[in-house]
Amino acid sequence: MLDSNRLRHLEQMPLWDFALAFYSEPEVERACLTLQDAGGVDVCELLLHGWLFVHGLEALPDALAEQRQSRQAWQRQVTQVLRHLRRRLKPEASNSEAIAALRKTIQQAELQAERENLQRWQAWALDLPEPQQRLRNRAETSHDVEKWLQDRFFFAELEAGCAAAPDTHESVSRAWLSLATRLDRFEVPR
């Protein structure tokens, strides 16, 4: 049975607010970008799992798999396109104020696309009246936050992809550990 207190606390802290607070924690931004660039991890989904975790909840795997496809399509078709454009324009932006302004506009659009994605994740998680079809109470006995987080992202598959590049494997492992440490200590603002 889904704990109504946990669900109520989740509803009181929007995913976007959690994302801003958690992302500003030391090392979190770097860890998220490492996992995104080296491991192909969707940072918005990563933030969803963190948000659920700090409220003592987790997504049910089957329900998550369906939503993950929709959210990944958004990331591919919208957010990644904007990110690619922003990164592509970086060298030119240092020599042109007009390109720098364009790049800033694209960066704002990319951030808005990520915010929209997070809002869609939140709507999915809290879709009433049946959130118990998507969420469950996280076992309080789970002390290994890093493994819990890695399990949400099929870490064994990601790790196999990084095995050929020891430096990448090392940086991805450090990123997971850094996120888990911050997540385990994260205090939900009251």
**Would residue 11 count as lying in a domain?**
yes
**Would residue 31 count as lying in a domain?**
yes
Coil, strand, or helix at residue 190?
coil
**Would residue 106 count as lying in a domain?**
yes
Q: What is the dihedral sign for C-alpha 110, 84, 51, 60?
A: positive
Q: Is 31 exposed, middle or buried (0-12, 13-18, 19+ CB in 10 A)?
A: buried
| 34-85 pLDDT tens trace | 988 888 889 999 999 999 999 989 998 888 888 998 999 999 999 999 999 9
**Would residue 73 count as lying in a domain?**
yes
In this predicted structure, the answer to whether residue 180 has a pLDDT above a threshold of 70 is yes
**Would residue 190 count as lying in a domain?**
no
**What is the reported pLDDT for 109?**
98
| 91-143 pLDDT tens trace | 999 999 999 999 999 999 999 999 999 999 999 999 866 767 889 888 765 56
In this predicted structure, the answer to whether residue 28 has a pLDDT above a threshold of 80 is yes
- Residue 174 tokens read as 């450090």
| 151-169 pLDDT tens trace | 766 555 455 555 556 677 7
**What is the reported pLDDT for 127?**
83
Domains contained in the chain, number: 1
Which DSSP state fits 156? Answer: H
Domain that holds residue 11: 4-185
Q: What is the CA radius of gyration of the chain?
A: 17
**Would residue 150 count as lying in a domain?**
yes
**What is the reported pLDDT for 98?**
97
**Would residue 127 count as lying in a domain?**
yes
